[in-house]
């Protein structure tokens, strides 16, 4: 009986400690400057989280992610040749929507976000 009185409180304390957060949550930023620095990508890297579909930043992210333009020696983003090169890089996973369309951009974006998240 004495064993149970010793073990049960210890087990309960262990469970409570395991469920408690180890660090307090980060404080919310008070100004827009702090929000822009936390969401901004590292220098030289474009983040898909901050790039809207069809923007130059989005095209740069897709281009770098798929290595479409080999150090600038390739088709220019947002051209039919570039769209075809993206489809070729994606192979069987290439979207069936018309290349360059909003639906195509959404499909490419979703596919690359999935690929980047798993690699």
Query: What are the boundaries of each domain within the chain?
Result: 47-119
Give the residue-averaged pLDDT of 70-76: 79
Q: Indicate if the pLDDT at residue 32 is higher than 50.
A: no
Six token digits for residue 35: 């929000």
pLDDT of 84 > 80? The answer is: yes
66, pLDDT greater than 70:
yes
**pLDDT value of residue 39:** 44
3 state SS of 31: coil
In terms of C-beta density within 10 A (0-12 exposed, 13-18 middle, 19 or more buried), how is residue 61 classed?
buried
* Stretch 52-67: mean pLDDT: 92
Report how far residue 33's alpha carbon sits from residue 19's, in angstroms, rounded to the nearest whole number: 34
In the predicted structure, residue 103 carries a pLDDT above the cut 90: yes
- DSSP type of residue 10: H
Comparison of pLDDT for 103 and 114, the residue scoring more: 103
CA distance 96 to 87: 9
């Amino acid at each position: 009986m004495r064993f149970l009185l010793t073990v049960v409180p210890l087990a309960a304390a262990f469970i409570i400690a395991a469920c408690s957060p180890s660090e307090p949550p980060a404080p919310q930023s008070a100004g827009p400057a702090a929000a822009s620095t936390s969401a901004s990508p590292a220098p030289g890297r474009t983040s898909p989280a901050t790039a809207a579909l069809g923007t130059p930043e989005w095209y740069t992210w897709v281009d770098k992610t798929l290595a479409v333009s080999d150090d600038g020696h390739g088709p220019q983003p947002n051209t039919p040749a570039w769209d075809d090169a993206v489809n070729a890089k994606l192979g069987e996973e290439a979207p069936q929507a018309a290349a360059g369309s909003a639906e195509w951009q959404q499909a490419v974006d979703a596919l690359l976000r999935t690929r980047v998240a798993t690699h």
